[in-house]
Structure 1
Amino acid sequence: MRVPGDLLFRGGSTVRLLLTCLLLASGSISVAADPIQVTETDERVFIETSALKAQINKRGYVTGVYRQTFVDKATGFRDAGFGLDIADWIMEPGSDEAYRDRLDEELVYRFGNLYHGDRPKRSIEGPQICTQAKVMDPHVVRGKDFVAVRQQFRYRTAAPGKKTGSLWTQWIVFPQGKRYFISMDRIDAVNDSDAMFLRVDMPGHIRHSDGDTFEKIYLSYHGEIPSSEFFEDFAPDAKFNYRRDSNPVPERFIRAYRLRDPETGRQGPWLAGMTLDPDVVHEAWCHQRGYVCMIEEFGGRPVKAGESFSAAFIVGYFDSIDEMHRVYDEHHGTTGLTVTADGWKLTGPAVD
């Protein structure tokens, strides 16, 4: 870009400012983005990128991104639930009724109710990490244009005949400038199972009163659902339930809700949780039980002690379903996530 020399000479600071703006607009010069801010206390990790704010708890209710701290700086909206990518038990199909009296109460899984539906399932190892682990020691990795957080926990209770000690690992990567994070949950198993799976909240539950915090839900395997469908409680297997053994595996596995301001009714962005390999999903619930419950189970295939399984996700804010699809397709088919200070990479396959 050319600027007359006499204009530069006469214009002083005003012209220099104008010139800088013109050069920026033309792409002739660039300004480095602000670095990602990370602050740690004894209680939590605070993260702020150019696009997002988030907190990860070290104590109390742990795993994933802590409830209502995930802020979209473009719109000011935040998540409406109890947290994002929250981890629970290692489980398998089948009933625990024959040995329920010998189980740690925390491992008992009751079915045939509005909370869990009619499908028998049982815990292999516990506790429910999010509510019972109580303390985490997150490891923070700072890269050139991202920050990542690793959390780990060894399960300490088990069903009769099962060992304790399987390792849960979660990576969460916050790339600079993106309105979403990339995450992975992985289990390194110490037990055998014909159909082991991990239960997570994906993207997370929705707290609401007659749909005041969300306008509608989008399930890629079902379509759009108005919030009015969630005014009354219903069981997870009553409707909007996905099961790999009885439903076609969809091209994409996306679960999202369109936020709205409960005070003004203003429409917000979509908050989506994407499981990047649809085939790893064993079952996924979207039902009402005082709040919209968005539980997802991944795995559900044979695992031997010493083996591992994982799923990779993208969780964040989007302005449209088309935008979700575009981002999903860029990362489709991945199940793992590796991170070093030099960078991060989505990987596969589902079972290593």
Structure 2
Amino acid sequence: MSSTVLPAAGFLLLCSPIVLAQDVGDDWVTVTEDDRAITIETDLLAATIPKRDPKHWMTGIEKGSFLDKTTGFREAGDGLMVIDWLMEPGSDEAWQEQVFAPDGHGVGRYTWFENETDPARREYALMAHGSSHRKRMVEGPQLCHRMKPVQPEVIRGKDFVAVRTSYRFEYAAPGRTPGSRWTQLVVFPKGARYFVLMDRVESANDSPELFLRNDTPGCIRHDRGDTFSEIYLSYLGGPDGVRIPSSEFFSPFPPDLKFGYRRDTHRTPSSFIRAYRLRDPETGADGPWLAGLTLDPEVVYEAWCSQRPGGIIVMIEEIHGRPTRAGDVFSAAHIVGFFDSIPEMHELYDRCQGHTVVTVDADGWRFGP
């Protein structure tokens, strides 16, 4: 598919703590950067990308910071587009007690509950991960949880601001090589209530089905549906998708029980949109939809929408999941933001679908190589 180019007037890197508005005459955005985080504030949105000491997770958009100025609503979870590990199918049972990461956390602990004898811990693990389609880590750490401080670059143009963050995985499972590079590019276009995001991986390892795990758009924290009224999944329930009332999430259930998607068991859908309708916890009034649009449905390996114990709905999505050789590169492109209706999401999706790459240079930002 051909590239879609969006022009820009300038290109600038911000590397030191600074507060700066766009060029004179173009005051739609302010970038505030210090040694802890980068905050982007446009006329329609606000969002923070942490560099260290995050409020919750290190990767993606920081917890509670994504604001829709049109309605006053914020995301209702622990942040957006959060990144975990590089993984593959299989069990790590054979080495889970043998290998430890430099920070003291086990590389092979993802399926530790296979031999877990404590009933409470085993029950939680099964609720969190399910009992089918075993998976194991290829490289760590879990970036959202244990990534060291980063120094993202801020790229400014006339009609956008972008933030690019890169990090190399630090350790690997037995027989694997650490050092795969993850890059996340976040673009805030002028006049939009959404951002465009790409996750890109340069693999250091061979794998039969390597995938990157993330949250798209993000988890939902709630107490019996007080923060959201329904969830929309475009890829389940027929050509119009499925709308799921919040009451379906009052009790915990594992990811492999319902509302799951797997490339090997489902037809590739025409769109891959995951959204929840925000609700004011005090008044019960509905707000906008917060949606994550994965622009190429074929890039999704597996996705689920499950209720864990503790009042959290997990919106895990795994990208790529294909045979990979060391040196290979894969990526996924998403649009994440606020929408007033489901048709509005689909209208934007139809204009941007099919892309997995986002690039930024002096000419602007674009989909495609």
Same-fold status (TM-score > 0.5)? yes
The alignment partner of 1:79 has SS state of coil
| Equivalent in the alignment of 2:18 | none
The answer as to 2:255 corresponding to 1:236 is yes
| Equivalent in the alignment of 2:85 | 89
| Equivalent in the alignment of 1:103 | 99
| Equivalent in the alignment of 1:319 | 340
**Structure 2 Cα separation of the partners of residues 75 and 34 of structure 1:** 21
> Contact between 1:92 and 1:123, CA under 8 Å: does it hold in 2?
yes
**Structure 2 Cα separation of the partners of residues 106 and 265 of structure 1:** 43
| Equivalent in the alignment of 1:133 | 147
1:45 alignment partner AA: I
**Structure 2 Cα separation of the partners of residues 344 and 52 of structure 1:** 19
**Structure 1 Cα separation of the partners of residues 267 and 61 of structure 2:** 31
Equivalence map 1:173-212=2 (5 Å): 173-212=187-226
The alignment partner of 1:101 has SS state of coil
**Structure 2 Cα separation of the partners of residues 220 and 33 of structure 1:** 37
Equivalence map 1:19-58=2 (5 Å): 34-58=27-51
The alignment partner of 2:291 has SS state of strand
1:127 deviates by: 0.3
The answer as to 2:115 corresponding to 1:115 is no
Higher helix proportion = 1
> Contact between 1:47 and 1:55, CA under 8 Å: does it hold in 2?
yes
2:170 alignment partner AA: R
CA displacement 1:269-291 (0-9 Å, x = unmatched): 00000100000000001000030
| Equivalent in the alignment of 1:148 | 162
1:315 deviates by: 0.2
| Equivalent in the alignment of 1:346 | 367
CA displacement 1:188-215 (0-9 Å, x = unmatched): 0010001000000100000000000000
| Equivalent in the alignment of 1:170 | 184
1:33 deviates by: 5.6
The alignment partner of 1:322 has SS state of helix
**Structure 2 Cα separation of the partners of residues 259 and 134 of structure 1:** 32
| Equivalent in the alignment of 1:299 | 320
1:107 deviates by: 4.0
CA displacement 1:54-94 (0-9 Å, x = unmatched): 11111133111001100001000000011111111000001
Given candidates 247, 263, 267, the residue that maps to 2:282 is 263
Larger gyration radius, structure 1 or structure 2: 1
Deviates more, 1:309-318 or 1:55-64: 55-64
| Equivalent in the alignment of 2:305 | 286
2:319 alignment partner AA: F
1:340 alignment partner AA: D
> Contact between 2:107 and 2:172, CA under 8 Å: does it hold in 1?
no
> Contact between 2:107 and 2:137, CA under 8 Å: does it hold in 1?
no
Cα RMSD after superposing both structures = 1.2
**Structure 2 Cα separation of the partners of residues 294 and 43 of structure 1:** 27
> Contact between 2:261 and 2:302, CA under 8 Å: does it hold in 1?
yes
The alignment partner of 2:91 has SS state of coil
The alignment partner of 2:128 has SS state of coil
**Structure 2 Cα separation of the partners of residues 47 and 219 of structure 1:** 29
**Structure 2 Cα separation of the partners of residues 76 and 236 of structure 1:** 32
**Structure 1 Cα separation of the partners of residues 232 and 34 of structure 2:** 36
1:221 deviates by: 1.4
> Contact between 2:93 and 2:108, CA under 8 Å: does it hold in 1?
no
> Contact between 1:142 and 1:341, CA under 8 Å: does it hold in 2?
no
> Contact between 2:107 and 2:173, CA under 8 Å: does it hold in 1?
no
> Contact between 1:102 and 1:160, CA under 8 Å: does it hold in 2?
no
Q: Point out which structure has higher relative CO (alpha carbons under 8 A, 6+ apart).
A: 2
Deviates more, 1:54-63 or 1:207-216: 54-63
Q: How many residues align?
A: 317
| Equivalent in the alignment of 1:77 | 73
Given candidates 259, 272, 279, the residue that maps to 1:253 is 272
Sequence identity percentage: 57
Unaligned 5+ residue runs, structure 1? 1-31
**Structure 2 Cα separation of the partners of residues 143 and 93 of structure 1:** 41
Unaligned 5+ residue runs, structure 2? 1-24, 101-105, 115-125, 237-241
The alignment partner of 1:135 has SS state of coil
1:341 deviates by: 3.6
